[in-house]
Copies of this chain bind each other. A is one copy, B any other.
Amino acid sequence: MSDIVITQDILDKLKQASTATLTTQLFKHGFRQQFLVGLNALNKDAGSFAGEAFTLRFIPSREDKDWDLGDLAKRGDDNLQWEAVEAIEPGKVLIIDSRSDPRAASAGNMLMTRLMRKGVVAAITDGAFRDGTEISRMSFPAYCAANTASTRPAFHRAIDMQRPIGCAGVAVYPGDIIVGDADGVVVIPRHLAPVLADAAYEQEMRERFLFTKIDAGQPLWGTYPPNEQTLAEYASWRAEQGK
């Protein structure tokens, strides 16, 4: 499925859509829950993002394998998290399956900074980040379920990357498109990204128009969703906007 081409134009359109719009579009395609419930943006002003998923999976750490912090200096299987941070390409989204366990941090400000400097567009975990306050001041979208200072190896071991994972109860396949805004994160199955990009853009435009009506005091009936007359008004408005 990763042979489906995702153009920058698709990513741009998805990025302009709100996560609310995207979950509605996904629901129309039969997807019930692609939103990562319980994860919050550390910096709500970091802006929206869209990018391909680069996955990293944790299992519980174990005393005999993970408790020598010196190992972090070595490359290889005992330090897959470092490998992942260096392997991920610019424009991608790092998304971590921390088994919804916030007892230790999935990463901290040092790795966040490295990711940001590399051009990675966002980092997500269904566990916790440490240095949350510092990260909340970075212009980098980071999402987590909690803010826990404890060092990762205390509870987690990075076991593989670019394998399918679950994150906050949602399946994520490498190459899926991840979109986030100040409200949270949505996972878009890769093959749906092109069609969703257009549909979401249209929905956003229409809702923007309808919002002006509701905001002006119109009742829901006839306006939201629009009846024929409202749709006609919308068509004129849309035409005026020349696009």
Interface residues of A (CB under 8 A from B): 18-20, 22-24, 27-35, 37-38, 40, 44, 58-65, 67, 69, 72-73, 75, 82, 85-86, 99, 101-105, 108-111, 113-114, 117, 128, 130-133, 146-151, 153-155, 157, 159-160, 163-166, 169-172, 181-184, 186, 189, 191-192, 207, 210-211, 214-217, 219-221, 224-225, 227
Contact = CB atoms under 8 A, between A and B. Distances in A.
Contacts of A38: 102, 146
A181 B133 contact: yes
Given A30-B64, A33-B104, 16 more contacts: A18-B131, A19-B130, A20-B108, A32-B154, A33-B154, A33-B155, A35-B149, A40-B147, A60-B171, A64-B192, A109-B211, A114-B224, A132-B183, A149-B183, A149-B186, A157-B164
Contact of A207 (B27, B60, B110, B133): B110
Nearest to A189: B64
Contact of A59 (B64, B166, B184): B166
29 contacts: A18-B149, A20-B130, A23-B130, A23-B149, A23-B151, A24-B69, A27-B69, A27-B150, A30-B64, A33-B103, A37-B128, A37-B148, A38-B102, A64-B189, A65-B171, A72-B225, A73-B227, A75-B221, A101-B169, A109-B211, A110-B207, A110-B224, A111-B220, A114-B214, A117-B216, A132-B182, A133-B183, A149-B183, A159-B164
A20 B129 CA distance: 10
A220 B86 contact: yes
A33 B18 CA distance: 29
Given A27-B153, A164-B59, A99 B99 contact: yes
